[in-house]
Amino acid sequence: MAPLSQDRFYTAIEAGAAGLATLVGEQDEGLPIPTCPEWTLRQLATHVGRAHRFAAQIIRTRATAPIPWREVPDGRFPDGPAERQEWLRAGAAQLVEAVEDAGSEPVWSFTGMTPVRFWARRMAHETLVHRADAQLAAGLDPELSLNPELAADGIDEWLALMSGPLDGGSDPRAQALAEGAVLHVHATDSGLDGSGEWLVRNGPGGVSVESGHAKGDAAITGPAASLLLVLLRRRLATDPAVTVYGDVGVLSRWLDRTRF
């Protein structure tokens, strides 16, 4: 699908952080996060705020290797509720400023050296998914705040990049999709103008992801926001917003072996 503009990612980062900050102000910090079973709301918010600062520091220093997570500047979650909300918003602003200032210079990423725009896209989707985690924990509907185009881009990033080999490792998708199998993902939102379809194939040359419509061994269809949450294991594949066709086992194996 056509890439979104950097401004769309900047807006998503800042809006996602602001939405999470609002939830932090409204909910108890000990609220369990069912979709991140080992985390509370405090730990989730700390992760997001620190991730923004982690990426910003990599960009500012033009890092060629990851910086230690515990050494991220200003990475401590504040004690006061108001300070916590501002801390989340400030981290997002720092990240956007760092990306804008760096232009197209290469820096370290999970996939190797890459232009800094990688981090705008990656952190936009990281922020939105973890805001969804907090919304689900609070009994809210995250689909209401997920724009279809942004959700479709999140699907594209997940299928083609983040579910694949990272840091030079093996490709987990080769185990998630049996040899010769094809998984079809189809976002049905009308505003996507036919760009919301993907075919994931495990062929002789390895796993590939291409845009387009064709029959797969299994297919999952529905609004992009719901599909994204299913693919990232935030919703079940039995959710009434999505429909599964074909060999359910193909989709189940994919979901079980590609975890966000």
Indicate whether 1 pLDDT > 80.
Answer: no
Mean pLDDT within 22-42? 96
Domains defined along the chain, listed by start = 6-145 (1.20.120.450), 150-257 (3.30.1050.10)
Mean pLDDT within 173-181? 96
Q: What backbone phi and psi angles, to 5 degrees, belong to 107?
A: -140, 170
CB 158 within 8 A of CB 191: no
Q: Write the single-letter amino acid at 142.
A: P
Q: What is the mean pLDDT of the chain?
A: 95
Say what the pLDDT of residue 3 is: 79
Say what the pLDDT of residue 193 is: 78
Say what the pLDDT of residue 57 is: 97
Say what the pLDDT of residue 110 is: 92
Q: Which residues pair with 199 in a beta bridge?
A: 184, 210
Mean pLDDT within 48-68? 97
Query: Nearest Cα to 125, choosing from 150, 89, 160?
Result: 150
d(CA 176, CA 164): 10
Q: Write the single-letter amino acid at 164.
A: G
pLDDT-wise least confident of 117-126, 128-137, 193-202: 193-202
Indicate whether 156 pLDDT > 90.
Answer: yes
Indicate whether 2 pLDDT > 80.
Answer: no
Mean pLDDT within 222-240? 97
Indicate whether 175 pLDDT > 80.
Answer: yes
Indicate whether 68 pLDDT > 90.
Answer: yes
Indicate whether 194 pLDDT > 80.
Answer: no
d(CA 189, CA 238): 19
pLDDT-wise least confident of 174-188, 191-205, 229-243: 191-205
Say what the pLDDT of residue 182 is: 97
Percent of the chain with pLDDT over 90: 89
To which H or E segment does residue 218 belong?
A: strand 218-222
Say what the pLDDT of residue 136 is: 98
Query: Nearest Cα to 129, choosing from 230, 37, 236?
Result: 230
pTM: 0.95
pLDDT bracket for residue 22 (50, 70, 90) = very high
Give the model confidence (pLDDT) of 208-227 as tens digits: 999 999 999 999 999 999 99
d(CA 194, CA 253): 27
d(CA 207, CA 202): 4
d(CA 119, CA 252): 30
Bigger pLDDT: 121 vs 191: 121
Give the model confidence (pLDDT) of 69-97 as tens digits: 999 999 999 999 899 999 999 999 999 99
Indicate whether 101 pLDDT > 80.
Answer: yes
